[in-house]
Structure 1
Amino acid sequence: MKHIYHYTCNNLWNKARPFVLGMLLCSGIASAQSTNPVINSIMTEETTNSQLEKLAHELFDGIGPRLVGTPQMKQANDWAVAKYKSWDIQAKNEKWGEWRGWERGISHIDMVSPRAKSLEGTQLAWSPGMDKKTTTAEVIILPDVADSVAFQQWLPNVKGKFVMISMLQPTGRPDYNWQEFALKESFDKMKAERTAQTDAWKKRISKTGFTNKTLPVALENAGAAGILTNNWSAGFGVDKIFAAYTKIVPTVDIALEDYGMLYRLSESGNKPVISIHCESKELGVVPTFNTIAEIKGTEKPNEYVMLSAHFDSWDGGTGATDNGTGTLTMMEAMRLLKKFYPHPKRTILVGHWGSEEEGLNGSRAFVEDHPEIVSNLQALFNQDNGTGRVVNLTGQGFVEAKDYLSRWLAAVPDTIKNRIKTVFPGQPGGGGSDFASFVAVGAPGFSLGSLNWSYGSYTWHTNRDTYDKVVFDDLKNNAILAAIMAYMASEDPQKTVNTKTEGIKWPAQVKATRRGGLDK
């Protein structure tokens, strides 16, 4: 009987645990805040019935990365509209421009000599496809020539070969690993060598007479079979994946470990040979969209509170933390608001912006196209620096921001707001993310700055920005915060006044690029 009793109690506890833990967490938060029923309901729902993991799976695993101009970007736009409508929230895709349409296909990269080895690498965005062809060729290194004349004399050597145009990194270990284990003199020596190598490689590129952008084109025009790069992100196994400049032959980022091996083999005269098959499709000119959702205001429908996050991503990974986490935070906040605050005083909008990665284009276009919203904006809250819980909020240079942001933050539970460092009046953001598009025209756009979680090295624009890097407890924290701040901004009897602090140089408005990646 003892064993049966023990089994039964464990079973009952296992079944009850999620509910009990959720209620304990919720009661812990509730004890630190007011008895406002809307805020209490928001916290209870998010701690016991969050939809974030389900949304993340559908977006990151199902749809994947959202490079502007790809079918996956449009698929994500349509998915978001359908999701909002399932929550009884009005939503639409609003066209703002056109882009070069492109779709990634499969890639196979292998070394075939001096031995067989499958290589880790990623075809860069907008790289030309190879149809069904496979190219097998020797790998050579960009030489250190005396000047551009010497480079032109060497250039015929690239014909039919893959050319490596990135520096050989002296270590594949991130600096924190060296700091933990290396002797100080070893670490200092490595850093000095790396700095010298980096400077020397910049000079090597410069002496060709070309830049990092124009050199690949010169090489392909001379008959190179393809371009090999390594844009290491200073962490174990991570590379940053950006755009190709070639128009005819593929450009492939080879992972640091394999790039280093190929480089050393070539340098030592072993003449490595690799085989590359990369498929992609050019799709012509395609329309680009922002996804906009709305909960209509009842008392002041022509004043606006906005939630904000860019929807597009680079496509080395699946855009999970840049900016899938910001996207899902704002979607979840809207779900919470619709469920517990369905008739706000002011209209609550959310903007999921396109082409942020190419220059804040979607949000800049929205600012240009909707002066009636921008001029009547109560506040905008944007999140776009990873999966971490929000820990920073600044006034973006607005004199009165301290008054109203502090007033709204006072309603947020202590367990969330006590972690947030505020700086007033702060400095206006000149770029970096979509709130800056609004700040540039004097509108109150604010960045919800998140805890780092090694964002810069491991997920920002990298091949490892995937579902498994998401910290859902922090996202729940942020969804609660965004929902409460939007609720408080909507309820505030006062319209925000936004005076620019004297003595601060204000960023200029930049026009959106509405035709991207297309020949003029």
Structure 2
Amino acid sequence: MKLIFLTTALVSYMLPACLGFPYEQEVLHQTKHERIKKVMADYKDVANAIIDLAVHGGAQNRSYNRLARFVDTIGNRMSGTENLKNAINYMYKALQEDKLQNVSLEPVKVPHWVRGEESAMMLKPRNKSIAILGLGSSIGTPPEGISAEVIVVSSFTELHNRAKEAKGKIVVYNQPFVSYGETVQYRAYGASEAAKVGAVASLIRSITPFSVYSPHTGWQDYQKDVPKIPTACISIEDAEMFARMASRGETIVVLLKMGAINNPDADSFNTVAEIVGSKYPEQVVIVSGHLDSWDVGQGAMDDGGGAFISWEALSLIKDLGLHPKRTLRLVLWTGEEQGGVGAGQYYQSHKKDISNIDLVMETDIGTFMPTGLQFSGNTEAQAIMTEIMQLLKPINITNLYGNAEGTDISYWMEAGVPGASLIDEIDKYFWFHHSQGDTMTVQNPVWMNLCAAVWTVVSYVVADLEEMLPRER
């Protein structure tokens, strides 16, 4: 190490005088790059061992089978419910039985919204039952429901341009799906925007590009100082039907009944397990997914798959008898669907240790066929991660993309900690997202094996490097 430092220092001193500063920088960059490649070459055998065990060996299909047993036993896991409590207890025991270290439950408070009985019936121009899923934090209707004429709009702009027509009516949003990030604003803010113009309720076209008559739920946010009105999502098919009827000038009347209740916050836990570092145990690489889900489907995709490949990463490392220099910490977050509530409280409890958090990893976009890794970090860290990804050539998953994402790790990344998220072929992710379709049928054991291999190789190598990933000071 000293020899490399002295050589670099000598080059830095001599070259500017005769060749100029740009050349000096190029030489330094080449030296660093060559050093990184040499270090990564030492991890080739261990990476191959991880891949072989996860994809071809005794651990093949293990994460899939564990997940199937879990969701078939527990079901969906809504924040504040007995199902979520049962899920946390299940995982606490399972992680202990897996002989992981420091298995613990860290208490947090989470929202406790209950859907209750809900229904919608179109009364005019004909009788038709409308499939709905109330949105998280929505208030309920009076017991007799709300019966009102419908106004159909395709955007917030159209709603406000037709504000006088909306008073006393139920607003139906038939917004086109552009992308989840752009279109989800209608789910999040549709109720408040409708309330601003005097509407009595809102029904929102589900945030999905495809539907087999399946509404999708999700969290919504009431704006301060705006009246709260009931809100739910409807299927694409019914939203388009309403739009066609309205375009023909037909009067549409809907009876909406929702028994939604917002209870006081409930007790819950983030579930934690570790493989303690052999040399720098105070330094930590976090691998994570969230354990809670919505109250429809099984939560197998969102985020059962992510949680279970994160568990699998520690299992594979333990099974191979590997002892990374840093601590690998599994965190199964709670209350993610309500906006990363459990993760936010975890960050507040642990941010004093921020200088020792090496990398935060979360996967929450499904465990379909993986295509690479998204990463947020400085240029030096990106160079290291690029070379780590080359260790995955045996399964041809070597791409490194920018902009890691994940509600639960965003707190750390905003504070400057490097972050990573799995990226996969998510074309169909939003077909099933937050719907009754999120079941084990969506999962594929071969894809989960590959996702686990990627997740494990990356987390282990980062945890075992002699130095932490560089970050902005």
Superposed pair shares fold, TM > 0.5: yes
The alignment partner of 1:352 has SS state of strand
| 1:426-445 mapped onto 2 (5 Å cutoff) | 429=404, 432-445=406-419
Kindly, what percent of the aligned residue pairs are identical? 22
Aligned partner of 1:167 in structure 2 is: 174
Which amino acid counterpart does residue 122 of structure 1 have in structure 2?
L
Aligned partner of 1:140 in structure 2 is: 150
Which amino acid counterpart does residue 274 of structure 2 have in structure 1?
E
Tell me how far apart the structure 1 counterparts of residues 441 and 332 of structure 2 sit (CA, whole Å). 22
The offset of 1:286, in angstroms, is 1.9
The offset of 1:77, in angstroms, is 2.9
Q: Is the 8 A contact 1:42 1:340 kept in 2?
A: no
The offset of 1:81, in angstroms, is 1.8
Aligned partner of 1:514 in structure 2 is: none
The alignment partner of 1:242 has SS state of coil
Tell me how far apart the structure 2 counterparts of residues 254 and 445 of structure 1 sit (CA, whole Å). 35
| 1:383-462 mapped onto 2 (5 Å cutoff) | 383-393=363-373, 396-402=376-382, 404-405=384-385, 408-409=388-389, 411-412=391-392, 414-416=393-395, 418-422=396-400, 429=404, 432-455=406-429, 457-461=430-434
Compared with structure 1, are the counterparts of its residues 36 and 268 closer, same or farther at alpha carbon in structure 2 (3 Å cutoff)? Answer: closer
What CA deviation, in whole Å up to 9, does each residue of 1:135-191 have, x standing for no partner?
A: 373532168999989956x666x2xxx61331376xx9x99xxxxxxxxxxxxxxxx
Which amino acid counterpart does residue 163 of structure 1 have in structure 2?
I
Tell me how far apart the structure 1 counterparts of residues 238 and 75 of structure 2 sit (CA, whole Å). 29
Tell me how far apart the structure 1 counterparts of residues 240 and 95 of structure 2 sit (CA, whole Å). 47
Tell me how far apart the structure 2 counterparts of residues 436 and 259 of structure 1 sit (CA, whole Å). 34
Tell me how far apart the structure 2 counterparts of residues 393 and 261 of structure 1 sit (CA, whole Å). 40
Aligned residue pairs total: 414
The alignment partner of 2:115 has SS state of strand
Q: Is the 8 A contact 1:69 1:100 kept in 2?
A: yes
Q: Is the 8 A contact 2:289 2:333 kept in 1?
A: yes
| 1:28-107 mapped onto 2 (5 Å cutoff) | 34=45, 39=50, 40-45=52-57, 48=60, 50-59=62-71, 62-66=74-78, 68-89=79-100, 90-96=102-108, 98-107=109-118
Tell me how far apart the structure 1 counterparts of residues 399 and 162 of structure 2 sit (CA, whole Å). 56
Compared with structure 1, are the counterparts of its residues 109 and 341 closer, same or farther at alpha carbon in structure 2 (3 Å cutoff)? Answer: farther
Q: 2:444 aligns with which of 461, 465, 471?
A: 471
The offset of 1:102, in angstroms, is 1.2
Tell me how far apart the structure 2 counterparts of residues 276 and 408 of structure 1 sit (CA, whole Å). 54
Q: Is the 8 A contact 1:217 1:245 kept in 2?
A: no
Structure 2: segments with no counterpart, 5+ residues: 1-43
Q: Is 1:323 aligned to 2:330, yes or no? A: no
Structure 1: segments with no counterpart, 5+ residues: 1-32, 176-197, 203-210, 501-505, 507-520
> Structure 1 length as normaliser, TM-score?
0.66
Tell me how far apart the structure 1 counterparts of residues 419 and 243 of structure 2 sit (CA, whole Å). 47
What CA deviation, in whole Å up to 9, does each residue of 1:201-231 have, x standing for no partner?
A: x9xxxxxxxx745344457xx683x432224
Structure 1 vs Structure 2 CA RMSD: 4.1
Tell me how far apart the structure 1 counterparts of residues 418 and 199 of structure 2 sit (CA, whole Å). 52
Aligned partner of 1:109 in structure 2 is: 120
Tell me how far apart the structure 1 counterparts of residues 105 and 386 of structure 2 sit (CA, whole Å). 34
Q: Is the 8 A contact 1:322 1:459 kept in 2?
A: no
The alignment partner of 2:103 has SS state of strand
Which amino acid counterpart does residue 472 of structure 1 have in structure 2?
P
The offset of 1:64, in angstroms, is 1.0
The offset of 1:446, in angstroms, is 1.9
> Structure 2 length as normaliser, TM-score?
0.72
The offset of 1:422, in angstroms, is 2.7
Aligned partner of 1:26 in structure 2 is: none
Which amino acid counterpart does residue 210 of structure 2 have in structure 1?
G
Which amino acid counterpart does residue 59 of structure 1 have in structure 2?
V
Tell me how far apart the structure 2 counterparts of residues 353 and 306 of structure 1 sit (CA, whole Å). 12
Q: 1:243 aligns with which of 208, 215, 219?
A: 219
Tell me how far apart the structure 1 counterparts of residues 383 and 124 of structure 2 sit (CA, whole Å). 67
Tell me how far apart the structure 2 counterparts of residues 213 and 112 of structure 1 sit (CA, whole Å). 22
